[in-house]
Structures are given as C-alpha cells and as structure tokens.
Structure 1
Amino acid sequence: MQTFATEAIDWPDSAPDLRRRVRALVAEHGESDPVRRANCWTKPDPSFSARLGAAGLLGMTWPSEYGGHERSQLERYIVIEELLAAGAPVGAHWIADRQSGPLLLRYGSEHEKRRWVPGMARGEVFACIGLSEPNSGSDLASVRTSARRVGDSWVINGQKVWTTGAHVAHLMIALIRSEEGSERQQGLSQFVIPMDAPGVTVKPIIDLTGAHEFNEVFFDDVRLPDTALLGTQGNGWSQATAELSLERSGPERYLSSMVLFLELVRHASRHPDPAVRDLIGRLTAETWTLRLMSASVAAKLARGEDPALEATIVKDLGNAFEQALPELVQAAVDVAPSGPEALGQVMGYLLQVSPSFSLRGGTREIIKGIIARGLGLR
C-alpha cells in the first residue's frame, strides 16, 4: 500500500531573498481590506498581477523561450506561500500561472504556446477552466458541450458553469466532447478558447456575499482553428485529470483562511484567554503539518515525480482545516461578524464562503474515492 511520506525540505539558497522581494511588493501594494485578503486567490487585481510579472515572479518554472524564468518548483512554492499568507490579490493570474500555462507548454501547439504563454508570464494574460456543466454536479465525465469538425475548423456548442474568473480571463481551456455518440471518459478533448471569440457569452453568478467570482459561459457556434485542439483528440480526460493534480497540489489548499488565523493571533495579544491560546496552539500545529505535507509535494514535483495521490490528500485535509477554522474561531471568541474589528469581518465572510472550499478541485466524496483507489482500497 502506498503511504504519504513527508521529508525534510532542502530550501534553496535564494529563499530569503525571494521572501523579502514578495513581502516588499505586497507592502507597496497596500491592501487594507481584511475581507479581500481572505481567500485571496479568488480576488483579481490585474495591476498587481502585472507587477508580479514584471518582477519575474510568474511563470517561474517555465522555459525562457516562452517568457519563463527557469526557476525551481520550490522557489515558486516560496513565492506562492508568501503571497497567500499576506492575502495578496492574486486571483487574476492564478489559474494561468498554476495550471493553464503548464498545460499549454506540455500539450499546446506551437502557435497557441507563443500566442498565450509569454503574456501569462508577464501577468497580462489570464485564464479560466471549462469543466463543470449544468445538471452534472461533480460528474465531470458527463460533459455534453460538443466540438464538431467542420473542414479545417472546430465548432463548439454548449455551456459551462461555476467557471471561476471567466469575466477577467482572456482564454479558457475547456473539456469538450469531440466524438459524437461517445460516453463518459471516452471521446473527450481539450480546446483553447479565446474569451472574445464570436459566440462566447459570459454571465455572472453572484454569491451570497455579493461577490462575482463564478460565471456561466455559453458557446453558440464558436469556430476555432485546428491549432486550438490541446494535445491529442480523445485524450482530454487524462489531460484534464493531470491538470487537476496541479490544481490540488499547492498551498492554497490550506491557506485560504490563513488571514483569519493571523487576525485571531492579533486579537489574542490584546485580549488574553486560555481557551483561545490553546486553540492557537492547535491551529499552529495543524498548519505546520499541512505545510510540511504540501511542501513535500512541491519537492517531488521538483524531482520530476508525479505526486498525484499526495496532492489529493493535501487537498482533502487542507480543505477540512480551512473550512473548520471560521467555525472554531466563532465558538472561541465573542466578536460580531458585522462589527468594526477585522477578526469579526473576516470570520463573517469565511463562514459564508468556506462551504465552497471542498467543492473546488473536486468534492470531498470524489476526492476520498481517488485517495482510496490510490491506496489500493477500492
């Protein structure tokens, strides 16, 4: 049976300088709204993304030929960790830097790579992911959006839903049924779709906090060139699941609520309480354990290994941690969610949005099934 093996991380010599650079950029940006600093990888700020790109902090592991900087996976991990811990508004470039850029570099035609990837590294081109569809729940294999071959083009029809960041994205990488009559995982392909292509319509989904993070995206006879096919026709399922491994492996899977933890520590420094002190100790131990597990995944990626199972375990445990945090704080501290104190504001916001944390990247039930298969239990 395969088990999760953590390891001592050999952080690169560049780590202290990278941390100083990121902290300086965040301080210069000066985000003061505590709610925007929570769950910050969903908060877009194109100007901040451009500043990161200009500083060489996006596309860090990518080839220089496509605008990347050929740094290590651990160096990239350090930058991400600092940005998330500070609550920096990284939502605009997040998906492009995390998974769309690497996917294009691995599977994309030369035309598509040169069209999109350098702009992603500059923090000027943003991406979204076209997976979920209406009436499908978490059953990704039930995709019905279709791609029909017409001459030397593809014509796309259908709909995607819960598409994060589609309203700011320049392109979508979508999983689409490219073989008529196929079912389930068979006959699926991935396509690169410009969001300004004729026939693409984006409609907002406003959540209960009033935020616009999700969208519906409609495709009405969207015509794409042959170069828009990503990878091999019919291989979309395996490509998409590999993409989800990238999505599940980062520190964002346990740091979405970290701003609340830091506000709790600040509150406790002014209002000492033994119960709160004990809670802080417990949360600190859990955070450090999750960090070691997450960084171990990054170390394996740096060695060229495929830690898909470990990434999925981190995703499941990390989501459980960050979902529980606002409820634990609410039970321990008498602070009003709508009051003037930052702790209450962040707690109130996360109490509303944290139920969604275990949906993104795969529901908890799906994730536990993947873990069970990886461990040989089913």
Structure 2
Amino acid sequence: MNNLSFPRPLHSEIGERLRVEVREFLDDWHGDRHAAATFGGFDPEFSEALGQRGWIGMGFPKRYGGGGYGLMERFVVLEELLAARAPMFAHAVAERQSGPLLLRFGNERQREEIVPQIASGKCYFCIGLSEPNSGSDLASVRTRATKVDGGWLVNGAKIWTSSAHRTHYMILLCRTAPASEVRQAGLSQFLVDMSTPGITCRQIVNIAGDADFNEVHFQDVFLPDDALIGVAGEGWQQVTSELTFERSGPDRFMSHMGAVEEFVAVLKQQPSSEGARTVGRLVAHLSTLRRMSRSIATMITEEQEAGLHAALVKDLGNCFEQEIPETLRLVLQTEPEPDASLAYSAALANVILHAPSCSIRGGTKEVLRGIIAKSLGLR
C-alpha cells in the first residue's frame, strides 16, 4: 500500500524574491488581464516577454535554454501569474508537461531543437490523447502509426485537443502494435509538427462561446523515425509520467480565483458574517491544496513517484473549483452576465460556464478515483 503522506515542501528564498519581481513585472505589463478570470488567455507577446526573463522552463537544464532554477521557483512564478489572471495559455502546456517529457524521454535532436524554443516562449504544444467515441478510456486508442520506410504513417483522430489550431507541435499517443490482453501495451508517443501535410483541425465551440477545443484528423500523415519519443511500445508509461505534471500544479485549483477576488471586492462594500465565513472556507481549502501541490513539486525534485498524490490534488481541485460558483451565489444575489459592466457579475458567469469542464480536463473524477483506489489496494 502506498504512503499517502505529503512531504514538507522545500522553502526557497530565491523563489520569494522572484515573487516580488513577478508582481512588479505584472504591474508594469500593459496587456489585458484575461476577462474570463482563468489562465486561458492566449497572448504570444506576453509568453515571449516571460521567456526573455527566464520565467518559462525554469526547471529545464541551462544547456536546453532553462533558467537554472528549481521546481519551487517555478511554482512561485506560476502562482503569481495565475493570481493576476495573466494570459499564459499559449506556452502553458509546452512548459508544464511537453518540455519535461522531451527532456526525460526524447532524443537529443528533440531536446536541442525544441526545448530551447519552449523556454523562449515562442513554441506552443497541444496534447493528442482523447479520441472520438472513446470517452475517458485512454487505453482504447485507435489512432494508428504504421511502420514504413524511414518513418511512420499515422491515421486516426483526436478530440478535445486544446489550441491544436494555433500550436506548433503535438505530443501524439497512438497505437504502434496490435491490441493485446494488456490494453495499455503497444502504444507509443510521437512529436508531431502541426504543419505536416494530412493534418486537419476542426474547432469545437463550447457553451461559453470559446473555440479552444479541436477535433484533429490524421490522414496518411508521415512522421520520420526521429519523431518517435522514447521507445516504441512504452507510450503508456511515458504518458502517465507526463500526467503527473498536468494534474499537480496550482492551475488545477486557482483558475477560478479571479471570481473569488471580484467577490471579495464586492463584499468589502457589502460586508456580512455569511460572506466572512464563505471567504474563510475558500481560503482554508485553497491553503490546503496549495500545500499539497507544493509538496508534489518537492517529490518530483527528489525523483519520488508522485502519480497518486497528483491524482488526489487534481480530484480535490476539481471539487474546489466546481464549488466556487455555487458557494458565491448563495452569498451575493448577483445575476451572472458574461458581458456585464460589473466585474463580479462577468467573472461569475464565466466560472459557471467553465466549471463543468474542471472534472474532465486532465482526467475525469472517475478515472482519478480509480487511480487512487488501485494505489490503495482497493481494486
């Protein structure tokens, strides 16, 4: 049975100095805060500005363009960017998980050519995992890469692929060997240039009116041999390692804090004991999740297995973010309107529309709780 204790997070004096620098940078930044009160703003100019300061890929080795910092320093910078609702989605996926994946499993060409571009804030990634008609059953991958002379030929489709229409690369999970009794066997990952002939992106508009998602089709897409990431057939182990980064960070419980911030601003003008209790409850939950998330950064730094702990943070973060709009509505009787002049009303409308997706992205609640149960020997 796994040990569920979270270690004491590393303290970083450098990180706390960085916190001040990031706040000063954000105060001087003349771009717009993302109106959605989440981290979903896509702003290449902002991403490049962060890259110039060494605030992307902070944990990457210096030889690959990294800043020479640790994961705790990265945590501090990310936390400040999320708190300020900074528009960082352009580089977020590449920096959070694609870069670390290439550093761990990629070949030297991939590391030398791609990772420094990520650190510069000029290279964006999407993740090709989910497929049409497969739900959350990731092991049922049907997109196939067939070995041919000099490379692989890919056919199939992916869905719910965030920003695929405006990213440079995809990390693609597909089947390279026939399915067997071990459903997770025979899967491999590839680095895919999104400008490759045969790739078609069809945008999907969600209930909030955003068109970030895509359905991506591959028709006889040729990938050279050196597009393979790691070892053929070991894609499942690689992707589960990658998901630890996706599930454990503060973006999994801070993306709706903009609405809480606007709620507090209104509450200052309309104080109440119920409002004070609500703020206290939310802050207590946030503080707990923050401590857990920082501890996972410590575990990764010490090369400990953190998949179970990441699933716990993601599941609790789902619940917390979905609780926020309903909790706030019980205190302030404000009509949520996406285009309202009142900042709180607009932020509330946005989180109401986006809250359902919290329990899907990065793994559904059912998948996460299955991981937890299996790790505890309960299934």
Instruction: Give the TM-score normalised by the residue count of structure 1.
Output: 0.96
Q: Residues 347-358 of structure 1 correspond to what in structure 2 (within 5 A)?
A: 347-358=348-359
Counterpart CA distance in 2 for 1:236 and 1:156 is: 15
Percent of pairs with identical residues = 45
Counterpart CA distance in 2 for 1:110 and 1:250 is: 27
Query: Which amino acid is the alignment partner of residue 304 of structure 2?
Result: E
Larger displacement relative to structure 2 (21-30 or 91-100) = 21-30
User: What is the aligned partner in structure 2 of residue 44 from structure 1?
Assistant: 42
User: What is the aligned partner in structure 1 of residue 274 from structure 2?
Assistant: 275
| Deviation (angstroms), 1:8 | 4.0
Larger displacement relative to structure 2 (193-202 or 19-28) = 19-28
| Deviation (angstroms), 1:146 | 0.6
Counterpart CA distance in 1 for 2:75 and 2:197 is: 38
Partner SS state of residue 165, structure 2: coil
Query: Cα RMSD over matched residues?
Result: 1.4
Counterpart CA distance in 2 for 1:298 and 1:356 is: 25
Contact 1:34–1:342 (Cα < 8 Å) also in 2: no
User: What is the aligned partner in structure 2 of residue 11 from structure 1?
Assistant: 11
Query: Which amino acid is the alignment partner of residue 361 of structure 1?
Result: G
Q: Residues 286-305 of structure 1 correspond to what in structure 2 (within 5 A)?
A: 286-305=285-304
User: What is the aligned partner in structure 1 of residue 242 from structure 2?
Assistant: 243
| Deviation (angstroms), 1:31 | 5.0
Counterpart CA distance in 2 for 1:343 and 1:305 is: 41
Query: Which amino acid is the alignment partner of residue 160 of structure 1?
Result: K
| Deviation (angstroms), 1:321 | 0.2
Contact 2:33–2:85 (Cα < 8 Å) also in 1: no
User: What is the aligned partner in structure 1 of residue 25 from structure 2?
Assistant: 25
Counterpart CA distance in 2 for 1:331 and 1:128 is: 37
Query: Which amino acid is the alignment partner of residue 356 of structure 2?
Result: P
Contact 2:34–2:41 (Cα < 8 Å) also in 1: no
147, 150, 163: which one aligns with 2:148: 150
Larger displacement relative to structure 2 (201-210 or 336-345) = 336-345
| Deviation (angstroms), 1:10 | 3.6
Counterpart CA distance in 1 for 2:292 and 2:204 is: 34
Query: Which amino acid is the alignment partner of residue 29 of structure 1?
Result: W
Contact 1:34–1:345 (Cα < 8 Å) also in 2: no
Query: Which amino acid is the alignment partner of residue 69 of structure 2?
Result: R
User: Runs of 5+ in structure 2 lacking a partner?
Assistant: none
String of CA shifts for 1:265-302, please: whole Å, max 9, x gaps: 11111111111111111111111111111111111112
User: What is the aligned partner in structure 2 of residue 117 from structure 1?
Assistant: 115
Counterpart CA distance in 2 for 1:340 and 1:151 is: 60
| Deviation (angstroms), 1:248 | 0.6
User: What is the aligned partner in structure 2 of residue 220 from structure 1?
Assistant: 219
Q: Does 1:231 align with 2:227?
A: no
Contact 1:161–1:217 (Cα < 8 Å) also in 2: yes
Partner SS state of residue 35, structure 2: helix
Counterpart CA distance in 1 for 2:201 and 2:136 is: 21
Instruction: Give the TM-score normalised by the residue count of structure 2.
Output: 0.96
| Deviation (angstroms), 1:93 | 0.3
Larger displacement relative to structure 2 (66-75 or 187-196) = 66-75
| Deviation (angstroms), 1:86 | 1.1
Contact 2:263–2:344 (Cα < 8 Å) also in 1: yes
Contact 2:65–2:120 (Cα < 8 Å) also in 1: yes
String of CA shifts for 1:150-187, please: whole Å, max 9, x gaps: 11211111110000111221000010011145572121
User: What is the aligned partner in structure 2 of residue 342 from structure 1?
Assistant: 343
User: What is the aligned partner in structure 1 of residue 376 from structure 2?
Assistant: 375
Compared with structure 1, are the counterparts of its residues 206 and 283 closer, same or farther at alpha carbon in structure 2 (3 Å cutoff)? same
User: What is the aligned partner in structure 2 of residue 79 from structure 1?
Assistant: 77
Larger displacement relative to structure 2 (95-104 or 18-27) = 18-27
| Deviation (angstroms), 1:43 | 2.2
User: What is the aligned partner in structure 2 of residue 261 from structure 1?
Assistant: 260
Compared with structure 1, are the counterparts of its residues 250 and 335 closer, same or farther at alpha carbon in structure 2 (3 Å cutoff)? same
Larger displacement relative to structure 2 (333-342 or 126-135) = 333-342
Q: Residues 34-183 of structure 1 correspond to what in structure 2 (within 5 A)?
A: 35-36=35-36, 38-40=37-39, 42-182=40-180
Larger displacement relative to structure 2 (18-27 or 53-62) = 18-27
String of CA shifts for 1:312-358, please: whole Å, max 9, x gaps: 10110011001110111112111121232111111111101110001
State the number of aligned residues.
376
Counterpart CA distance in 2 for 1:324 and 1:165 is: 27
User: Runs of 5+ in structure 1 lacking a partner?
Assistant: none
Counterpart CA distance in 1 for 2:344 and 2:33 is: 12
Counterpart CA distance in 1 for 2:310 and 2:295 is: 9
